[in-house]
Amino acid sequence: MKDEIQQGRRDLLKLCGALAGSTVAPALLAPVAGIASAADPRKATSNDEYILRGGYVLTMDSSLGELPSGDVHVKAGRIVAVAPRIDMRDVRIVDASRKIVMPGFVDTHQHLWTSVLRGSLRGDDPKFGYFPSKARAGAVMTPDDFYHSVRFGVAQNLASGITTVHDFCHNVPSPAHADADMQALEDLGVRARFSYGRFGEPSTRPMDWQDVERVRRTIVPKRSRLTLGVVVAPTTDNNGTMRQSVFDDLSVSMAHIQAMNLPYTLHYGNLTHGIVDVMARHGWLGADLLLVHPQGFTAAERETLVASNVNISIAPVIELQYSTVRSGYTQFAEMEALHARMGISIDSSAASANANFFNEMRALLWAHKARGTQVPLTPRRLVELATIDGARALNLADRTGSLTPGKQADIVLVRMDDLDIAPVVDPFNSLVYSAQPDNVDTVIVDGRVLRRDGKFVSIDTDEIIRDATRSAQRLRKAAGLA
């Protein structure tokens, strides 16, 4: 039966080009006894109720604080209450003792379509590095490849405690590819913003605004965990060089974005120097803009961005590995001193070689300390950036990022008695300096348990790895990555 279901999904993916408005049949996930499972990630029932009992609760809500021993009540996918003790009759009790109970991590920017390229990249090699490799691979990827890559990337994310991801898809060759990407997000049960981008970045091809509108009207309203955004990218001439009028088509993009009332995201870097001033003059800076990579800003640009409430996504590991030489150091200290709205991100698990969100917090801490600035950066602040501030940067803080009653139950439990993290005295300190994905015991999204006891409940990781490997091997030949 399972093989038939999986074959049916693959057949449907191949038909997506002809049926752009359709979506792939969702994976069937078997229900598991105990607390709420991912039996059907799209549906909640009144029976999905339990109490996480006796954990070290980090609410990431300043009005609730931390509870060294506390309970979290979850019902129908939402957090009902957080307190030192919650006693209710006929409600399932889940032992959370010896575990940190906290909101799931929020990744503010990740190119999930590149996940399968991980084994083929060679740093900054001029032929086999990240940028030339993703350009060649992107040109030959099928909807199947997209589906396998996104599933692979999301599985890595969930294993690292990431429950919300901004899927920055700056390579949408067709509506079928967009459908495959979003179906993978749905099938794995993660909360996500899907940011629709044109094929390549920068690109000679225009955005398919008609398909963006199709997604906005027909897909997003049916998926409670999915929101939609748009990628804003520079335009090139046919020879790949930047146009002299690189910003001219921004007015077209912004007209569509504003008409659809969508958030939009832009990479900041060598190709976009000067764009802050241009966008400020036209009134295009605001809380709906997420600007990725705070490197190379002038002092005036920093002031303008903060005054305009622009959100900033930092990718600490990638910025240390790839961007510092080209674009300068990460300007976290300068933006923090101005109280900028910021979150943390993986960028690409292919380029960084993993999706370890604990490493992202550590890398930002190390980069900050290496600069020797006087701006403080504590472990508590890093966990804020990785959770509630990431949710704010994606304009999702009303539903996730903290264990606030009324929000969706996106929760992770981290074991405190593992060899590499014990003994835990200050949980913030241990999360930043010691914790690894292997310490993540339980991952809950919308109240449903996706991982328990360090293992996926209903996701077949062997199948995900096989499919991702098959796509990766095909791409190595088709895109000349070998």
For the residues of 336-389, what is the DSSP string, one character each? HHTT-EEEE--B-HHHHSS--HHHHHHHHHHHHHHHT-SS---HHHHHHHHTHH
What predicted TM-score, i.e. pTM, was given to this entire model?
0.89
Q: Has residue 10 got a pLDDT over 60? A: no
The burial of 33, by beta-carbon neighbours within 10 Å (0-12 exposed, 13-18 middle, 19 or more buried), is given as exposed
Residues of the chain with pLDDT > 70: what percent?
Answer: 85
Q: H-type helices in 20-103, by residue range?
A: none
| More confident call, 456 vs 32 | 456
Question: For residue 237, what pLDDT band results from cuts at 50, 70 and 90?
Answer: low
Q: Has residue 251 got a pLDDT over 70? A: yes
Q: Has residue 260 got a pLDDT over 80? A: yes
Token pair, residue 133, equals: 């490799």
Distance CA 73, CA 409 (A): 9
Distance CA 249, CA 351 (A): 30
Please, what is the average pLDDT of the chain?
A: 88
Distance CA 436, CA 177 (A): 33
Q: Has residue 66 got a pLDDT over 70? A: yes
| More confident call, 11 vs 319 | 319
Q: Has residue 245 got a pLDDT over 90? A: no
pLDDT at 16: 43
Going by C-beta distance under 8 Å and a sequence separation of 6 or more, which residues neighbour residue 131? none
Distance CA 155, CA 152 (A): 5
Token pair, residue 241, equals: 């060089």
pLDDT at 321: 80
pLDDT tens, residue by residue, 109-130: 999 999 999 988 887 788 888 8
Over range 239-264, report the average pLDDT: 76
Q: Has residue 240 got a pLDDT over 50? A: no
Question: In 3-state terms, what secondary structure has residue 120?
Answer: helix
| More confident call, 155 vs 240 | 155
Going by C-beta distance under 8 Å and a sequence separation of 6 or more, which residues neighbour residue 22? 12, 15, 16, 179
Question: For residue 205, what pLDDT band results from cuts at 50, 70 and 90?
Answer: confident
Distance CA 422, CA 56 (A): 14
| Torsion sign across C-alpha atoms 451, 454, 457, 459 | positive
Distance CA 294, CA 275 (A): 13
Phi and psi torsions of 459, nearest 5°:
-100, 130
Which residue type does 62 have? S
pLDDT at 272: 72
Going by C-beta distance under 8 Å and a sequence separation of 6 or more, which residues neighbour residue 248? 235
Q: CB count, 10 Å around CB of 237?
A: 12
Q: Has residue 310 got a pLDDT over 80? A: yes
Instruction: Supply the DSSP symbol for 349.
Output: H
Question: For residue 247, what pLDDT band results from cuts at 50, 70 and 90?
Answer: low
Token pair, residue 466, equals: 């096989």
Per DSSP (E only), the strands in 203-340 are 226-232, 264-267, 289-292, 311-314
pLDDT tens, residue by residue, 73-113: 999 999 999 999 999 999 999 999 999 999 999 999 999 99
Question: In 3-state terms, what secondary structure has residue 104?
Answer: coil
CB-based contact 67:84 (threshold 8 Å): yes
Query: Does the N-terminal peptide bond of residue 31 adopt cis geometry, omega within 30 degrees of 0?
Result: no
Q: Has residue 241 got a pLDDT over 90? A: no
pLDDT at 164: 98
Question: For residue 5, what pLDDT band results from cuts at 50, 70 and 90?
Answer: very low
> Which position has the token pair 């029932």?
45
Distance CA 425, CA 442 (A): 21
> Which position has the token pair 């009992």?
53
